[in-house]
């Protein structure tokens, strides 16, 4: 049991369990570090992600066991590698997409497109038309404008309304951009009823790497009230999408999926059996399955401060540190920790990924850096900015 984070806020009703019992209650998996070290030693040409699909399968099973009523629709953007997508398809997952390029990947692996959720609240006309032509039926909206646009292109589209819900206690909050507020929600519902559009459900996103289970309860309660409003307006709400945000273990303690499941399962009792429930996990399904490996290009002292530059930075896949996500960083040095500034390889001044990070004093040029549980939102973000190559993605499947 780790230290209880002070930033966990409580919203709405108090949880029945004391906060400290909510954290680290179940063992979390990780890719075996020895396997990763061997892989780096055998061959290294550029930063790489090494991912074990057996762990991806395990996580999919665990999520379904924790929330039997909830079908996972994997958020492709977290890690769009084709081999990962195929594995999740085999495990009975469906998918959530942000773009038509992601849709094409799903078509290529033979996923059932009618089950794909197009959850980007702002879609171009061309993208909607393309998705409709390929058989997509479910489209998110969070504005009257988007509702009208989808309805014009596909009058019988099934739409679900994304509402704003609390993102308290999430390492990567998504609030402040997407999600309809109370007055927009009323307007969207009224417009759907007037147009005869099939506003068939609701969704919310609690924020990514969410360590506060109460956010799901609040989201589900808000959608429960919204379903009533929709029914009164003459609509037929029948799908609830509880979004993503399920956390993985880095440095701070997390509520396990089983604890979140208890909260979710209880709140879902307010919905009749015929209401279909889905989730959109991204990070949860893929992070633990992988390590991200890069190397120290060189070190420097500037203004009395120790710097090290890695061959992967903000543009090469290590971007989530910039919003405060803390990876467990492993090295093969054992010197006492000192505060380091860590930069990527580019000349861009924003390419600083960590400041005053305690790391071994004897780290030096050529050393490997291993980021644990980094299968999500690393390679997916990488670009070739400044001419540095994209990370390699090495996928295998162990016999666990």
Ligand X SMILES: *Cc1c(COP(=O)(O)O)cnc(C)c1O
Binding of residue 142 to ligand X (CB under 6 A): no
Piece of the chain touching ligand X by CB under 6 A; list 27-35, 220-228, 282-290, 312-320:
282-290
For residue 373, what are the contacts with CB-CB under 8 A and spacing of at least 6? 30, 248, 249, 250, 287, 288, 290, 291, 327, 328
Q: Which stretch binds ligand X (CB under 6 A): 220-228, 279-287, 289-297, 326-334?
A: 279-287
Give yes or no for residue 167 binding ligand X (CB under 6 A): no
Distance separating alpha carbons of residues 169 and 122, to the nearest angstrom: 26
Q: Which stretch binds ligand X (CB under 6 A): 194-202, 241-249, 351-359, 387-395?
A: 241-249
- By CB under 6 A, name the one of 252, 283, 309, 372 that touches ligand X: 283
Query: What residues are paired with 158 via a beta bridge?
Result: 138, 198
Does position 213 bind ligand X by CB under 6 A? no
Smaller CB separation from ligand X, 246 or 310: 246
# residues near ligand X by CB under 6 A: 17
In the complex, the smallest distance separating the C-beta of residue 241 from ligand X, rounded to whole angstroms, is: 8
Kindly state the smallest distance separating residue 304's Cβ from ligand X, in Å. Answer: 39
Q: Is 45 left (phi over 0), alpha (psi -120 to 50) or beta?
A: alpha
**Toward ligand X, which CB reaches closer, 140 or 363?**
140
Among positions 173, 281, 344, 345, the unique one binding ligand X when judged by CB under 6 A: 281
User: For ligand X, which residue of 280, 288, 311, 351 counts as binding (CB under 6 A)?
Assistant: 280
Q: How far is the CB of 376 from ligand X (least distance, A)?
A: 6
97 binds ligand X (CB under 6 A): no
Near ligand X by CB under 6 A: residue from 243, 313, 316, 391: 243
205 binds ligand X (CB under 6 A): yes
Among 87, 94, 208, 256, binds ligand X (CB under 6 A): 208
User: Which region, judged by CB under 6 A, interacts with ligand X, from 227-235, 239-247, 250-258, 289-297?
Assistant: 239-247
- Phi/psi class of residue 352: alpha, beta or left (left: φ > 0; alpha: ψ in -120 to 50)? beta
Residue 245 touches ligand X, criterion: CB under 6 A: yes
Per the listing, tokens 């109370």 go with 182
Specify the residue, 84 or 342, whose C-beta has the smaller distance to ligand X: 84
C-alpha atoms less than 13 angstroms from C-alpha of 270 in its C-beta half-sphere: 17
Nearer to ligand X, 289 or 376 (CB): 376
* Residue number with CB closer to ligand X (244 or 344): 244
DSSP β-bridge partners for residue 380: none
Residue 128 beta carbon to ligand X: minimum distance, rounded to whole angstroms: 16
Q: Is 198 a binder of ligand X (CB under 6 A)?
A: no
Q: Which of 48, 95, 138, 246: binder of ligand X (CB under 6 A)?
A: 246
SS3 labels along the chain: CCCCCCCCCCCCCCCCCCHHHHECCCCCCCCCHHHHHHHHHHCCCCCEEEEEHHHHHHHHHHHHHHCCCEEEEEEHHHCCCHHHHHHHHHCCCEEEECCHHHHHHHHHCCCCHHHCEECCCCCCHHHHHHHHHHCCCEEEECCHHHHHHHHHHCCCCEEEEEECCCCCCEEECCCCCCCECHHHHHHHHHHHHHHCCEEEEEECCCCEEECCCHHHHHHHHHHHHHHHHHHHCCCCCCEEECCCCCCCCCCCCCECHHHHHHHHHHHHCCCCCCCEEEECCCHHHHHHHEEEEEEEEEEEEECCEEEEEECCCCCCCCCHHHHCCCCCEECCCCCCEEEEEEECCCCCCCCEEEEEEEEECCCCCCCEEEEECCCCCCHHHCCCHHHCCCCEEEEECCCC
Q: Is 173 an interacting residue with respect to ligand X (CB under 6 A)?
A: no
- 375 contributes a contact to ligand X by CB under 6 A: no
Report in angstroms how near the CB of residue 247 gets to ligand X at its nearest. Answer: 8
CB closer to ligand X, 177 vs 305:
177
x-marked contacts with ligand X along 54-93 as a string, rule CB under 6 A: ---------------------x-xx---------------
* Binding of ligand X by 169 (CB under 6 A): no
Positions that interact with ligand X (CB under 6 A): 75, 77-78, 96, 119, 205, 208, 243-246, 280-284, 376
């Amino acid at each position: 049991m780790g230290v209880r984070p002070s930033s966990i806020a409580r919203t709405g009703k108090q949880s029945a369990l004391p906060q400290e019992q909510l954290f680290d209650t179940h063992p979390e998996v990780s890719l075996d570090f020895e396997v990763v070290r061997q892989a780096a030693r055998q061959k290294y040409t550029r930063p790489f992600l090494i991912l074990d699909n057996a762990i991806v399968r395990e996580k999919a099973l665990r999520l379904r066991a924790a929330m039997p009523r909830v079908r996972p629709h994997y958020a492709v953007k977290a890690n769009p590698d084709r081999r990962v997508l195929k594995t999740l398809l085999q495990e009975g997952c469906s998918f959530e997409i942000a773009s038509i390029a992601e849709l094409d990947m799903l078509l290529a692996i033979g996923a059932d497109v009618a089950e794909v959720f197009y959850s980007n609240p702002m879609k171009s006309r061309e993208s909607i038309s393309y998705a409709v032509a390929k058989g997509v039926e479910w489209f998110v909206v969070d504005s009257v404008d988007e509702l009208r646009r989808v309805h014009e292109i596909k009058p019988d589209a099934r739409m679900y309304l994304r509402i704003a819900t609390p993102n308290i206690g999430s390492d990567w909050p998504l609030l402040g951009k997407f999600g309809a507020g109370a007055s927009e929600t009323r307007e969207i519902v009224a417009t759907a009823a007037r147009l005869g559009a099939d506003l068939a459900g609701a969704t919310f996103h609690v924020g990514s790497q969410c360590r506060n289970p109460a956010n799901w309860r609040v989201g589900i309660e808000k959608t429960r009230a919204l379903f009533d409003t929709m029914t009164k307006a003459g609509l037929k709400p029948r799908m609830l999408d509880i979004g993503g945000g399920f956390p993985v273990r880095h440095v701070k303690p997390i509520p396990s999926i089983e604890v979140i499941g208890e909260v979710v399962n209880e709140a879902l009792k307010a919905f009749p059996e015929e209401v279909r429930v889905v989730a959109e996990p991204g990070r949860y399904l893929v992070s633990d399955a992988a390590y991200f490996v890069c190397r120290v290009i060189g070190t420097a002292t500037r203004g009395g401060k120790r710097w090290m530059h890695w061959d992967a930075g903000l543009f090469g896949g290590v971007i989530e540190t910039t919003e405060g996500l803390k990876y467990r960083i492993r090295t093969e040095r054992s010197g006492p920790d000192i505060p380091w500034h860590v930069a990527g390889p580019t000349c861009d001044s924003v390419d600083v990924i960590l400041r005053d990070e305690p790391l071994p004093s004897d780290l030096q040029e050529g050393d490997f850096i291993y980021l644990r549980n980094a299968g999500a939102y690393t390679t997916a973000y990488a670009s070739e900015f400044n001419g540095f190559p994209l990370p390699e993605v090495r996928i295998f499947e162990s016999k666990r």
